[in-house]
Every structure is written in structure tokens, then in C-alpha cells.
Amino acid sequence: MLDVKELRAGYGDIEIVHGISLKVLDNQIVAIVGANGAGKSTFIKALMGMIPVKKGTVTFDGQDITSLDTNKICDHGITLIPEGRQLFPQMTVEENLDIGACTPTTRKDRDRKKEEMFELLPRLRERAKQMAGTLSGGEQQMVATARALMSSPKLLVMDEPSWGLAPILVTELFQTIETVRSEGTAVLIIEQNVATTLSIADWGYVFENGNVTMEGAGSELLCDEGLKKAFLGI
Amino acid sequence: VPQTVAPAATEAPTQAAAATETTTTDSADVPVVKIGFVWPLTGNSATIGQQHSDGALMAIEEINANGGIKSMGGAKIEAVVYDSETSPDVGSSRVETLCTKDNVDIIVGCYNSAVTFPASEVAQRYSTPFISMGGVKNEITERGYEWVFRVNNKASYDVAEMLKGVDLCLQASPDTAAAVEADGGLTYALVYESTDWGSDNARIWKEEADKRGWTCVLDEPVTSGQSDMSAQAIKIKKANPDVINFSFYTNDAIVFTKALFANKINPRLGVWSVGGGSQDAAFYKACSPAEYEYSFVQEDWNVSMPYLYDWAAKISEDCYAKNGYYITSFFAQGWTAAKVAIAAIEAAGTNDKEAIRQALVNLDVKLEDCADSHIILTGYPEIKFDQDGQNTFSSGTIIQYQNGVQIGFSPLSAATPGYSPIIPIPDDFATRGSTSKPWGTAPEVK
Amino acid sequence: MNTKEHSNFFQGKVFAILGLLILLIVPNFVDTNVQIVFILILFYALCASCWNIVCGFVGELSLGHAVFLGVGAYISSLLLMDCSLSPWIGMFIAAAITAVFGVIVGLPCFRLHGPYFALTTIALGELIRIFVENNETVFGINLRGAMGLVLKQSGNQFIAFEFANKITYYYVLVALVAVTILVTWLIKNSKLGFYLTAIKSDPDAAESLGIKLTKYKLIAMGISCFLISFAGTFYAQYFRYVGPSRIFSHDMSVQIALIALVGGQGTVFGPLMGACLLVPITEFLSEEFGGTLPGLHLFIYGIVMILVVLYMPRGIFHPVTKLFKSIEAKLFSFGKKSVQKGEK
Amino acid sequence: MGEIIRLEHVSKKFGGLVAVDDFSGEIETGSIVGLIGPNGAGKTTLFNMMSCTYPPTSGKIFYKGVDVTKARTDTMAARGLARTFQVTKPFGDMTVVENFMVGAFLHTKDRATARKQAEEIYDYIGMSCGRDKPANETTTVDRKKLEIGRALATKPELLLLDEVMAGCNPQEKLELVETCRKIQKCGITLVVIEHDIKTIMTLCEKIVILHRGAKLTEGTPEQVANDPRAISAYLGEDYHAGC
Amino acid sequence: MLDSVLLALIYGILQGGAYGAIALGLSVIFGVTRVTNFAHGAMLMLSTFLYYELFTRFGIDPYIGILLVTPVLYLLGMATQKFLITPLLKKERGTTQDPASLLLITLGLGYAISNLFMMIYGSDYKTIPTAASRSYLTVEIGDFLFTTQWSRVIAFLAAFIIGFALWFIINKTELGKKIRAVSQNRDAAAICGVDVYKTYAVAFGLGIAAVAVAGACLSEYYFVQPQVGTLFGTKSFLIVVLGGLGSIPGAILGGLIFGIVESVGAQFITSSASSMLTFILFMIMLFIRPSGLLGKGGKV
Ligand SMILES: Nc1ncnc2c1ncn2[C@@H]1O[C@H](COP(=O)(O)OP(=O)(O)OP(=O)(O)O)[C@@H](O)[C@H]1O
Ligand SMILES: Nc1ncnc2c1ncn2[C@@H]1O[C@H](COP(=O)(O)OP(=O)(O)OP(=O)(O)O)[C@@H](O)[C@H]1O
Ligand SMILES: [Mg+2]
Ligand SMILES: [Mg+2]
């Protein structure tokens, strides 16, 4: 469903991502792993139209979405859980979720979706009326996840969702991801938690200095010796 | 390019005329005389500066159309106009530019006293004659500068005239005078903007009033730029003075006048204005006649001029045709200051600055001799500078609005024949202004 | 910050030196009328540089800095008028008092941030203006209220800070500007400069590193006020008149801030560049159009500001030095290659 | 050795929310203490109070025996307490080394000395992005290291690290663990907040688990790992099983 | 004495409401876009000139003119955002936005607008002599006379109407939710599918539209002149800051405080001293509450 070809992007004059091609098929979990600074987040930003694409194309469900405005890309059914939460600090948790479904098409389902989210993450129901800015780091991450799911996206992009999460929650998070996929949403995930991620991923890409150096089925990659050395510290 | 009215503006018609005949004079031969003007064309007193400018430029146009400076072989006059932005440093820089770059022969300016101070000093330094116009601060001509002259009055003259006007009113209505006396003597309220101009007027008024034994019941400086003066009106009402004296520029004058009227404040000897905003044509467009009915204004010119002299009436008509208003104090000031500058050059017969200065020192123009020269539009009986460079004859008129018409009554020489001040002010708020004529209407001489 | 800017500045050195030479020498050979513009350029450059020392480094926008200019002007002029003290001495007394005044005022103000700070400084400026306009005497000192201070001419005496020709005034300013820029440069490369820049980027982090926010802001404020007071003395002596409605005006404050911002805040030479760009434009437009079409010059001024911001949002300093650098690189590309090799 | 910092019945309320609830404890000079707990347990809040970013609602804090409950952040730094921020706060306009210099200026006025110290720190914590890279162009790990280095530059005796390893991959985490050990060897006391249990278990001598603002348990890594309350509240059965 | 203080209080409240009405737009714009719109006064002035033209050319009363002028100003506001501010924000995308450049650009715009009108209309003071400005609300009980133009009363009421309308839009509508989201985190809003720049433009437009309504009320009792903006501009800033930037009730509250202090204060000290008093009070209040009376705590 997502097909990225030869994407090049960067900040200002500096090119960070040097021609990356990547595919996400229907109902797949695709993982991107790589060292810090490999350009994973930059790739995602370019994909989402948050920084300009220098070269290459992004097609989604057969439509060219290269360099559209971020909100237009969202309209196509891609949502992002950005690096570092990015909530609306002075709005309540509930309002944060509302914004997650604010386009005319998604708004219809809003209340039902919200209920679903509260079921999924009960902590949020407790905090529904609290200002998001005063939540703890982990609570904020939950809000960010729930907010992204509010619009029932076709593709969910997650940039380090386990950042700052307690181990219990990390486990829950990965369960959530599988639940989401089982409901028909494809997932593109960036994670430092390489082992767990690759174990649930259908396909994985390894980024290094803005290039894809390796790709393959999640379980295959897990067994790769070089990878083990580089990321798993074994 | 600074505004150069002269040759370009007036030559067009004359050239057209000349073309049908034959070329008479080679325009390149005609020497040019330059007069520099610095006025507030933006900022708080911009409307006033604009009227000065209108007056001066019309005066120059008139001279140029009538053959220029005769003693210099018909030299054309070129006006160089700058905006002072109502700022002392900009104003004095512009005067410096006039002295150095434009090399003008004489300078006229700058209306605001605060600008005139440093600006006239620059002229003094460059030994260029400077005619102060508008600025009433006493000290302008009290610094011993031989290059600085002032055509118009000092602040102390303004106030003295007004107090004399109040005296006249008391004389005109002995009943009122007796009533005032019975209440323990005359009381007055001073309301003024807290700039040097406003506070100066208030200070001088107080000094003069003390001599007469009058009591100050309210001394109220107001920061300029008010959008409501009800609070001040309440205060005045409580103080209940016999006379209110105010000094405001146009914007505050409008707001103040409206507040007084709304609150039905009616001091028995009237509301007196030092001028400033209430001499501005814009003031009368903004206020209805009912609001300024019966009020007294110290006009810096003789409002009867157009009715007393045909030539002045003609200028007033021309002014209306060109600018959309009849002569105002500011127009007259600009006109006369420009004319004085021209007269000095005419008398000097040369561009030499020292000669022009000498001509100014020796200048002596009487109103009755102005039938052809039209120098004195300000209604002074005479223009002659004392050793300080101050024109000691400069005087304004005290007028009262009666049925919307300006009626002059002090000094007696400028009185509109057949009228006397209406004192005490009638309490006719319900009908006031209903029979008023539009502003600028001439009084019917009885 | 430092290293980068240094290299920038020194790489554009041909132009920098050229520019400074123009500022130093050219005024000798032009009409008085042009000299006036040069004087105004340096005067505003001086004020803007002082503004920059506190606001540019700390990152707060003061829109009331004219107050300190005015206080300096008033004190030195009063000392001259009432105590017959030469402005050369008076200006140091004035500077010291202004600095103390600045610190006292800064103490509460620097608790505020962003727009709150900016607008409080506006209020402060207006307050002082109205206060001086309405009070003839303060603590027994005759301030002469709204009338302002008129300095008498005393003949062209050096001791009285009064000179026959503009060029002398100009060189006095050159000295003052040079001192200010030197001070700015020294600050920028000292502990103080690092601390101020740190405070600007993240006050919380700065505080956790042991930086006393208020203390360093106030030191900067004191230095800024000390120096701007000289500009005040110069203003008073040059125009020989100090009126509260101008020197304490909001317009003056905004003008000072504008020049520094357009030049590039937090840079050593930015304010000077800003003044070199804006002052001639204002002067030229005001002279050309002030008399014929009142308002046009300020209209164009506004448009210029918009354009500068749209195309150079961080001020003209960096783009201009970059431009100079590239021109220079082209002009001297010859000799440069060998130099580069040598460097490596 | 004695304790470097002691908290007595410290509580912090935000409006109605109790973030830290009657917490008491102390930290031995020279040790590495781990502070763990679920999200929102009040770990960062505890750090903020220890570094005097805001005062506790009630309770007292003693640093080296002195009551610092109402002290200010900047004076704490001068007394030898440094911290990092969970959300990194680099001085973006400055280069990496200049960031360190800001810290180093706490003990020197001289620019050259500060620069020298800053460069030493750059080498010491093993950064590789280039000394003169603008701080806002650095990667996540480098930002974390930048935070640590800047804090180190103030020559602290007590260093509070708030999730410096979050967002790092295992390899990088190992590096950081080494760095922490190195720092401890220099005689600096460390308090570390971290969610990665494996890392914290290997690094710390003592672990405190915070739960809903209160101390749930404390002890050596083994004690904690086997504490049933810790397992149910925080570590999860999975983790326990995994061990 | 009591009489006059009571009167002054009423006048002060009326005047304060009018101040609040003018300041509201400023507050909204700041709240959303974090732009301190220094062109606020100029835009107010611009709207009064439009009412003036409508009145003199077509005899349309400003209160009716609102229907025509407000949409125009709304578009103007949107255009300002779109062509001047959005490019700046886009340029600085990712980095924190620099308040200085936004200040400069709005200041420049203010200069340009007010001087453009200076060129076109000159510096004359013009008034719009409508029925409301010429008819008075008078309450006379014995010696006690309260009288004011109806237009001032309407201006006072307008403050609450505009305030309520804005509050409603921002807090109770879907659009408002988006506006608030954008104001708090534009990147996050974008990934939620909100068109950030359009929302900014809408918010800016709303703020300017509110100014246009206030302008109609103002032009009914004050005069029309290119300098009017400077006068009310500065005051609006102080009011908004006093009330708390971005807070709608705060703007009205700030206005009322200013109006009351000016008016009642003048009964005890001179008017110019009471203007000083407002400034002093302003500063004292800020030092006590650094983010304004109703401002949300913390840094802005
Ligand atoms: N705003 C920016 N401006 C300039 N360079 C940047 C910016 N943000 C990131 N970079 C640079 O881009 C490179 C890649 O960063 P990116 O955030 O994409 O890495 P990542 O793979 O997501 O790593 P991480 O695991 O740290 O999130 C880094 O070298 C970083 O220095
Ligand atoms: N300034 C504040 N105002 C109101 N509530 C706050 C504030 N800061 C923190 N809180 C609340 O206090 C609780 C503790 O927050 P804290 O940041 O200390 O958690 P934490 O243990 O660091 O969590 P995490 O591991 O997710 O960072 C949270 O519920 C949070 O919502
Ligand atoms: Mg990343
Ligand atoms: Mg935390």
C-alpha cells in the first residue's frame, strides 16, 4: 500500500536520507531499525511532508502523495505517532483524542473510537479531564498512541513509541500494535527495542547513514549475526 | 525632491500665455530665491502644519504670479518644505539640511515650540535668518539670538489677551459681574494637555489671574490622546468655575468639547480656549455648532479681516476653493510668515543673508498699508521686531461663537461691529445650536 | 556562535575593513548635509548596540530603552546647566547613575518574559515620559517639566562639548561606537557572553548549571545603560535641547530596537549594519518626500521592514557577511587556493 | 562515607494531584543509585525537588547536611549538584564544546581554561560528532551525552541523570553505562532514572522503586528483582519470568 | 463626592468596556499564533476609514456597515497571515519561532498601513455623525446627571458580545478545538490532519474581524484619523497583557481596570497623574502575576 522510491531528503542544504526505497504491504507490520542518527526520523518526516522531499516519490494506495502538506497526507489515511509525543499540553486528554479525529470523515466515528481507546488504555479514562501537559511521560505516550488511532488510519507510522515507557507498558504497547494490525491497519514502526520489534514485524529494514543496508523478514533479520553485534550488544 | 512650488507650479499658465505671444524673458536668467519651511506634517499636530503649509505656499504662489521679487529683477521664489515629524531632532536636522544642502536664504518654522528651540539655534549657528512661526513659548526670542525673529505672539500675550477678554465680558454684563462678586470673586478652572504648550499657558494664566485676585478651583493637566473626558467633566462640574480655560490640540479639544456639552456644563462666563485645536478647521467639522456655541476662542488672527478688507475676503475665497476651508489662524500665520520673509528679501534686494537679516531688523509694515502687498493676514496692526526679534504688535482676537458665527469683540479694534459678547451664558441646552449657521459663515455686519 | 561568527567576520574582512574605512574617512570629504546623516547613523548605531548588549544577548525585547537614553541626557545636561560641570565629566556621572537606575528598573522587569517583558518596557517608557512632562521638580531638582532642557551655546569650546564643525562631533561618536562595539565583542567572548547566550536558549538548563539568571541579566543591563547614557549626553550636546516628549518617546525606543533587530540581534556588528541600512533610508525618504507627500517616507520604511524580515528573518548581518564572503571568494579565488592548501 | 543528600517526608502536590507522597530516603556519597518506577510515579518530580527547581509542598531536603529545602537551582549547582533533563535542553545556537564551556565557567572566569576543560570533557565522555557541531544539529545520543557533559563540566559531586539512555540502542546503552561507571570512579555520586531494567540492574548498587509518589521498595538489584510488590507493580511477570 | 465617584465609576466602566472590545482581537491572535500583532492599531484605524467611506458615500451607518466591513477585514487578516506571517513560520519550521521577526513584520505593516492612510486622507479629523453618536442616554435624578452617547453604551455592550462570540468559537466549536490545537503544537496538529496554516489564517482573520466590529463602535463616538491606531494600539497591548495574553475574559477585565482607574483615579488626583497611575498599577500587577491576571501560568 505504501511505496517509497529513491527518497532523498534532509535539512537545509544537508542531505540526510540518500535515496531510500521501502514498501509496506497491506496489513503488514514493517520495522525500521538503525543506529541513532541513521536518518530514521528524518525519513519519516519527509514521508509525512514535514520536511521537503528533494527527490523520489511516495505513493500510497496508488496515489502520489510526495510533498503534499502533512494534513493532506493524513487525509489519505496515514497517521504518525511522532518522536517525543507532541501533545497539546493545555488541552484535556479527551480533547487531544478529539483532535485525532477532526476531519469530516473521521469525525463521525469519534465517540465510538474514543470509547474504544478508553477500553484499550484504561489509564486514559482516569485522566480524561486532565491537561495533557501535566501527565507523566508514559501517560503522554499513551495519549499520543490513542490520538493516532482515533482516525482509524490505514497506515500507522510510529517513531519510537516505547520511548520512556516502563517495561510493563512496553509489553502492553507491543500487544496494542498487534491488536491494531489484526484490525486491519498496517504499521510502520521505528524502534530501538530491536529484538521485540523484529519479532513481531513481518518485514524489517536496517538503516545506516541514510541508506538501507539490509532488509528481510523480521525473524530472518533477528538471526543475522552482524545485526546482533550492532544492535543487540551480543 | 522637496516640494518646489514656485517656478514649476505657476509657470505653467504663464508659459501657456507666453507661448501665444513671444518668449519675453529667458527663464534661465531669472534668479531664484529660496525659502525653507519646516513643519509638522505627520504626527500629533499634522493638521495644523498642513494649514500653515497651505498658507505659505499660497502666498508664494501669489508673489510668483505677480512677477516675483521686483528688487531682484523678478526673481522667482522657490519653497523648500520639510516635515519635522513633530520631533526636535528631526526638525533641527532638517533646518541644518536647509542651511547646508539647499542653501536657502531664509527659514520659516516650526510651529511646535519644542522643535523651534533647537531648530532656531541651528539657524543661528549658520547665520541664516529664521522666522519663528506658531511657537508661542516666550523663551524662543529671549535667548539673544540675532538671527531669530518671531512674527506671532508669545504665550504671555495670548493669555493676557484672554484675561482682558474676560474683563471685557464682566464690563459688558454688570449683573454677572455683581453676581460673581457676590459669590466671593471669580473662579476659574484650567484644563490643559500636559505638554510645554499647555502647561505654559496654564502657568501664565495663573500668574495673571493672581494679580486680579481670581481663584483657581481646578488645575487639571491631561495627557494628550484621550478618548473620553467624562471624568474631567465630572471634576469641572464639581468645581463649578465661572470660567473654564482649556488648551488642547484638535483631537483632545474635540473630545473635551463634546464631554462638556453632554454633561451640560455651563460656566456663567463661558469656556475659553487658548487656541490650538479650537482654531482648527477640522475641529468644526467634527463638532456640531451646539457643542461650541457661546464658547470663546483666542484666535491668532483677526477673524474680521475678510469682512474688513476686500483683499482678505478674496484670499479667503481662494483658500476655500483650493483647500476646502476658509482662512484659519494657521493658514493666516503661514501666509504672513511667508510674506514677511518675502518682504525682507524684497527690501534687501539681494540673496545676502546679512542683508536680509538687516531688512528684518528694519522691517516695519502696517496693516493699513497692506492693500496691495497683502502681507498681514494675521490682523496685527503692525509688524515690527524689537531688539529680541519679537514682533511686539502681534495680537490675536477674542471671539465668541454666536449662532455658529465667529464674533470678534476684543481687542476693540477687531470687534465685529454691532455685536457684544453674550454673558452670562444662557442655559439653553435644549435648543442650543438649532439656529446656528455653518462654520465659516461671515457675520452680518449690523 | 563564537567560532562561527568570527570566521564569518574575518573572512569578509576586505568588506569589513572597507566599510569601516568609509565610516572613518568619507565623512571628511562630504558636505555638512551628508555629515549629518553619518552622525545620525552612528548615533543610532550606538543606541542600537547598547540595546543589543542586553536585549540581543538575553533575547528579550525591550521597547523602552529610550528611557535610559533620556536619563543619561537629562543628568549630564542638568549637571552642565545647574552645576556648570563639563559634559566630559558629567557624562561619566550620568552613566553611573543611569546604570544604577537600569539595574533597579531591570530587577523587577527581568522576572517577565516575552511579550510581557516587551510591553512592560513600553509601559515603563510611557510612565517616565508622562512623569517628566508633568513634574517641574523632582527631589528638588528642576527638570523643567514638559518644556525640556535648553542648553545655551557657549561658543565652540572643547570643554563644553561644543564644536564648530560636524566632523568633530562625528569623531566623538566614532570613539563612542568603537568602545561600545569593543565592549560587545569582549562580552561576547567572555563568561558573561556565554552565560547570556545560554540564558537566551534555555533559561532552565542555564539555571541548572549554576547561572544566576537575574544577576547576569542585570550586569548586562548595567553595562548597556552605562553606555547608552553616553549616547544621551551626545544627543543633548549635539541638538542642544532635551525634550521629554521626544527623548522618552515610544517612537525613539522602537527605532532603537528596530535598528538592532534589522541588523541582527546578538551579533557584534549587526546594530551598526542595521543603522547603516535604515538611517540613510529614513533620512533620504523623509527629505525627499516629507514635504510633498507626508507619510510616504514612513510608508516605504514600513515596506522595507517587511521585506527585510521576509527575506532575512534573523537580520541582515549574516546574509550580508555571507554575500561579502562569496564575492570575496570570487574576487580572490586566485590566491585563495594556495592559502587553503597551506592551511590543511 | 555518610550521605550526600537526604530527603525527609518530602511531598509535592500539583493542585489536587499528589506527585510525590511523603518520600524519605538518603543517598550514600560515591554510590550509584537507580530510581525506577512506572510512568507518572513522580521520579522527575523528585529530581526537580532535589535540584531545587521547585520546593516541596512539605518536608525537608538536606544536602551535605545543610537544609536546602528553599534554596535556588543556581546555588545548588555551585554547591556541587548537577542534573540532566528528561527532555534534552541543549543551547542550540552554540557548538558542542561551547555548551560544555558554559558549564565549565562555573569555576573559572577565563575563557581559555574553560575551553580546555570543555575539550577534556568532550574526549572524556567519548563524543564523536565534532567539537564545533552546532548543538541543535546533533543526534539523540549526542544530545544525551551533551547533557551529561555539560553537567559534568560544573564539576559536580552529585549528578542526577534523568533517562539519559532512553532512545538509545543496546550498543549505545552499553557505552553510556561505561561512561557512568567512569564518572563514579571519579568520586561523583550518581542517581539514575531509567526504564531499562537490564541496564539499571547492571549499573546500580542500590535501586529505589517509586510507585504513585511513594517509595515502594528499595535495596540491591537482586532484592528488588525478587520483591513481589515490585514485580506486580512495575517489572511485570514477563520480566521476572525472563530473568 | 460620592456622587462624582459613582459617576466616574460608571463612565470608567463604559470606557473600559470599549477598551476591552478593541483589545479582544489582539488577544485572540496572540493566543493562537503567538504573534503580538503590532499592526493592531493600524487595522482598527483602517476599519474606521472603511466605515467612514461607507457612511459618506452611501449613508450606511457603521453598525450596519459591520456586515460589509467585517468580512473584508476578515479577509485582510487572513491575507496578512498568509502572505506575511506564514512564510516566516514556514521558514523557521522545526526551530522555535523567533518573536523578534514577527514583531518586526507586524510593526512594519502597521507603519505601512497608517502612513498609507495618511497619504490618502491627510491628517484631518473626521467624524461620522450618526444617530447613535448624536443621541444621548441621560439619567437625571436631582443633581445627579449621568449622560453619555448611546454609541458609547453600545461599544460597552459590544465588548461582551464580541468576547462571548470569540469565547464560544474557540471553546465550544470544532473550529475552536482545531484553533487551540494549532496554538499549542503546530506539528502535532498537522499530523492529526489539521491544516495548520489555514487555521492560523482563520484565527488571524477572526481577530481582525473582531477589531472591525470594535472599529464600528469606535467610529460612532470617536473620530476617524490615521493616528487613531497608535493611540488605541498601545493601550490595547497594555490591557491584553494586564488581563493575560490570549485570555478573552482577561482582555475585557484588563479594559475595565484601565477604564475605571483612569476615570475614578482622576477624581482624586490630576488626570495626567491618573494616567501614570494606570501604568504603575499595570507594572505592579505584572510583578505580582507575571503572566497577567487571567493568563495561564508559566512562560509564554
Ligand atoms: N533539525 C535538524 N537540522 C539539521 N540536522 C538535523 C536536524 N534533526 C536531525 N538532524 C540530523 O539528521 C541526522 C539524522 O537524524 P534522525 O533524527 O533522522 O536520526 P534517527 O535515525 O531518527 O536517530 P534517533 O534514534 O536518534 O532518533 C542526524 O545526524 C542529525 O544530526
Ligand atoms: N507541573 C506539573 N503540574 C501538574 N502535574 C504535574 C506537573 N509535573 C508533573 N505532574 C504530574 O505528576 C506526576 C508525576 O510526574 P513525573 O514527571 O515526576 O513522573 P515520572 O515518574 O518522571 O514519569 P515518566 O517516567 O513517565 O517520566 C504525573 O502524574 C504528572 O501528571
Ligand atoms: Mg529518531
Ligand atoms: Mg520523568
Q: Provide ipTM, 2 decimals.
A: 0.83
Strand partners, A207: A34, A212
Grid cell at residue C106: 531591570
**Residue D176 and residue D66 share a domain:** yes
By the 10 Å C-beta count (0-12 exposed, 13-18 middle, 19+ buried), C102 is classed as buried
**Residue B420 near residue B409, CB atoms below 8 Å:** yes
Which of D128, D155, D182 is the last residue in one of the domains?
D155
- Chains contacting A (3 or more CB pairs within 8 Å): D, E
By the 10 Å C-beta count (0-12 exposed, 13-18 middle, 19+ buried), B245 is classed as buried
By the 10 Å C-beta count (0-12 exposed, 13-18 middle, 19+ buried), C41 is classed as buried
Distance CA A76, CA B394 (A): 82
Strand partners, B269: none
- Chains contacting B (3 or more CB pairs within 8 Å): C, E
CB contact under 8 A, A138 and D40: yes
CB contact under 8 A, A37 and D139: yes
Q: For residue D42, which atom of ligand 2 is closest to its CA?
A: 18
Residue C150 included in any domain: yes
- Tell me which of A13, A17, A22, A36 to substitute to probe ligand 1's pocket, judged by most ligand atoms within 8 Å of the beta carbon: A36
> Residue B22: is its pLDDT beyond 70?
no
**Residue ranges per structural domain of chain E:** 23-228
**Residue D185 and residue D134 share a domain:** no
D54 touches ligand 2 (CB under 6 Å): no
For the segment B378-383, the average pLDDT, to the nearest whole number, is 85
By the 10 Å C-beta count (0-12 exposed, 13-18 middle, 19+ buried), C53 is classed as buried
Q: Which domain holds residue D138?
A: 85-155
Q: pLDDT per residue over D108-119, tens digit each?
A: 888 889 999 999
Three-state SS annotation for chain E: CHHHHHHHHHHHHHHHHHHHHHHHHHHHHHHHHCCCCCCHHHHHHHHHHHHHHHHHHHCCCHHHHHHHHHHHHHHHHHHHHHHHHHHHHHHCCCCCCCHHHHHHHHHHHHHHHHHHHHHHHCCCCECCCCHHHHCEEEEEECCEEEEEEHHHHHHHHHHHHHHHHHHHHHHHCHHHHHHHHHHHCHHHHHHCCCCHHHHHHHHHHHHHHHHHHHHHHHHHHCCECCCHHHHHHHHHHHHHHHHCCCCHHHHHHHHHHHHHHHHHHHHHCCHHHHHHHHHHHHHHHHHHCCCCCCCCCCCC
CB contact under 8 A, D235 and A168: yes
Distance CA C6, CA B291 (A): 67
**Number of domains present in the structure of chain D:** 2
Q: pLDDT per residue over C186-237, tens digit each?
A: 998 899 999 999 998 888 899 999 899 889 999 999 999 999 999 999 999 9
**Residue D216 and residue D172 share a domain:** yes
How far apart are the CA of D49 and the centre of ligand 2, in A? 12
Question: Could you tell me if residue B185 is left (phi over 0), alpha (psi between -120 and 50 degrees) or otherwise beta?
Answer: left
Q: What is the DSSP string of B148-167?
A: EEE-S--HHHHHHHHHHHHH
Q: By C-alpha distance, which of E169, E204, E158 is closest to E21? A: E158
- Chains contacting E (3 or more CB pairs within 8 Å): A, B, C
Spell out which residues line ligand 1, taking CB within 6 angstroms.
Answer: A 11, 14, 16, 34, 36-42, 83; D 137-140, 167; E 94
Q: By C-alpha distance, which of A1, A159, A160, A151 is closest to A74? A: A151
How far apart are the CA of C111 and the centre of ligand 4, in A? 27
pTM for the model: 0.86
Three-state SS annotation for C185-233: HHHHCCHHHHHHHHHHHCHHHHHHCCCCHHHHHHHHHHHHHHHHHHHHH
Q: For residue D46, which atom of ligand 2 is closest to its CA?
A: 18
**Residue D162 and residue D113 share a domain:** no
**Residue D235 and residue D223 share a domain:** yes
**Residue D191 and residue D138 share a domain:** no
Distance CA C342, CA A24 (A): 52
Grid cell at residue C255: 527605532
CB contact under 8 A, E222 and B286: no
Task: Please give the pLDDT value at position B16.
Answer: 39
Amino acid (one-letter) located at C286: S
Task: Please give the pLDDT value at position B21.
Answer: 38
CB contact under 8 A, A71 and E184: no
- Tell me which of A32, A40, A45, A194 to substitute to probe ligand 1's pocket, judged by most ligand atoms within 8 Å of the beta carbon: A40
Strand partners, B32: B76
> Residue E171: is its pLDDT beyond 80?
yes
Q: By C-alpha distance, which of E42, E221, D27, A135 is closest to C298? A: E42
Nearest to C208 among D73, D94, D98 (CB): D73
CB contact under 8 A, C115 and E123: no
Residue of chain B nearest C32, judged by CA positions? B100
Give the closest-approach CA distance of C281 to chain E in angstroms: 14
CB contact under 8 A, B196 and C288: no
**Residue E194 near residue A71, CB atoms below 8 Å:** yes
- Close Cβ partners of B75 (under 8 Å, ≥ 6 residues apart): B30, B31, B32, B33, B68, B69
**Residue C50 near residue C180, CB atoms below 8 Å:** yes
- Bridge pairing between strands B187-193 and B243-247: parallel
Rounded to 10°, the helix E174-184/A93-100 angle is 100
- Close Cβ partners of C144 (under 8 Å, ≥ 6 residues apart): C136
Secondary structure (3-state) at B407: strand
- Looking up cell 544525551, which residue turns up? D144
How far apart are the CA of D137 and the centre of ligand 1, in A? 7
CB contact under 8 A, D163 and A164: yes
Residue C328 included in any domain: no
Does B434 touch chain E if contact means CB atoms closer than 8 Å?
no
Grid cell at residue D174: 552499553
CB contact under 8 A, B223 and C32: no
Output the domain CATH number for residue D61.
3.40.50.300
D14 touches ligand 2 (CB under 6 Å): yes
Give the closest-approach CA distance of C338 to chain B in angstroms: 50
DSSP 8-state class, residue D42: S
**Residue D75 and residue D160 share a domain:** yes
Does E192 touch chain A if contact means CB atoms closer than 8 Å?
yes
Does C62 touch chain E if contact means CB atoms closer than 8 Å?
no
Q: pLDDT per residue over A21-59, tens digit each?
A: 999 998 899 999 887 778 888 899 888 888 888 888 999
Residue C187 included in any domain: yes
Q: pLDDT per residue over E40-63, tens digit each?
A: 999 999 999 999 999 999 999 999
Q: For residue D39, which atom of ligand 2 is closest to its CA?
A: 26
**Residue D147 and residue D38 share a domain:** no
Ligand 2: residue whose CA is nearest its atom 18: D42
Q: pLDDT per residue over C162-174, tens digit each?
A: 777 888 889 999 9
Task: Please give the pLDDT value at position B415.
Answer: 81
Q: By C-alpha distance, which of B410, B343, B402, B403 is closest to B373? A: B343
Grid cell at residue E175: 473550529
D39 touches ligand 2 (CB under 6 Å): yes
Distance CA E66, CA E51 (A): 8
**Residue D92 near residue D133, CB atoms below 8 Å:** no
Which of D120, D155, D190 is the last residue in one of the domains?
D155
**Residue B379 near residue B332, CB atoms below 8 Å:** yes
Sign of the dihedral defined by the CA atoms of residues B133, B134, B135, B141, in that order: positive
Q: How many Cβ atoms are within 10 Å of D221's Cβ, its own excluded? A: 17
Distance CA E270, CA B191 (A): 10
Overall residue count recorded for chain A in this entry: 234
Secondary structure (3-state) at C84: coil
Residue C171 included in any domain: yes
Per-residue pLDDT of chain C (344 residues; tens, 9 = 90+): 444 444 444 455 677 788 888 888 888 888 888 888 899 999 999 999 999 998 888 888 888 999 999 999 999 999 988 888 888 899 999 999 999 999 999 988 888 887 788 888 988 898 898 888 888 777 878 888 778 888 877 776 777 777 778 888 899 999 999 999 999 999 988 999 999 999 988 888 999 998 998 899 999 999 999 999 999 999 999 988 898 888 998 889 988 998 998 888 888 888 999 999 889 988 888 888 877 788 888 888 889 889 888 888 778 888 888 888 788 777 766 544 444 443 33
> Residue E240: is its pLDDT beyond 60?
yes
Secondary structure (3-state) at C77: helix
- Bridge pairing between strands B271-273 and B296-299: parallel
Chains A and B touch (3+ CB pairs under 8 A): no
**Residue D140 and residue D176 share a domain:** no
How far apart are the CA of A41 and the centre of ligand 3, in A? 4
Distance CA C309, CA E92 (A): 12
- Tell me which of A16, A81, A205 to substitute to probe ligand 1's pocket, judged by most ligand atoms within 8 Å of the beta carbon: A16
- Looking up cell 505659505, which residue turns up? B56
Rounded to 10°, the helix A93-100/A110-120 angle is 120
Q: Which domain holds residue C231?
A: 35-313
Residue C112 included in any domain: yes
Q: Predicted confidence band at D243 (pLDDT cuts at 50, 70, 90)?
A: very low
Provide the chain A residues 101-160 that lie in CB contact (below 8 A) with chain D: 130, 134-139, 141, 160
Strand partners, C3: none
Rounded alpha-carbon distances, angstroms, from residue C116 to B330, B388, C212, E172, E259: 43, 52, 21, 28, 20
Distance CA B312, CA A70 (A): 73
Q: Which ligand places an atom closest to the C-alpha of D212? A: 2
Residue of chain C nearest E235, judged by CA positions? C123
**Based on C-alpha coordinates, what's the Rg of chain B?**
22
**Residue B46 near residue E119, CB atoms below 8 Å:** no
Does C281 touch chain E if contact means CB atoms closer than 8 Å?
no
Q: pLDDT per residue over E112-136, tens digit each?
A: 999 999 889 888 888 888 888 778 8
Q: pLDDT per residue over E194-227, tens digit each?
A: 888 899 999 999 999 999 999 999 998 888 988 8
By the 10 Å C-beta count (0-12 exposed, 13-18 middle, 19+ buried), E95 is classed as exposed
**Residue D148 near residue D179, CB atoms below 8 Å:** yes
- Using a CB-CB cut-off of 8 Å, the residues of chain B touching C125 are none
**Residue A170 near residue A162, CB atoms below 8 Å:** yes
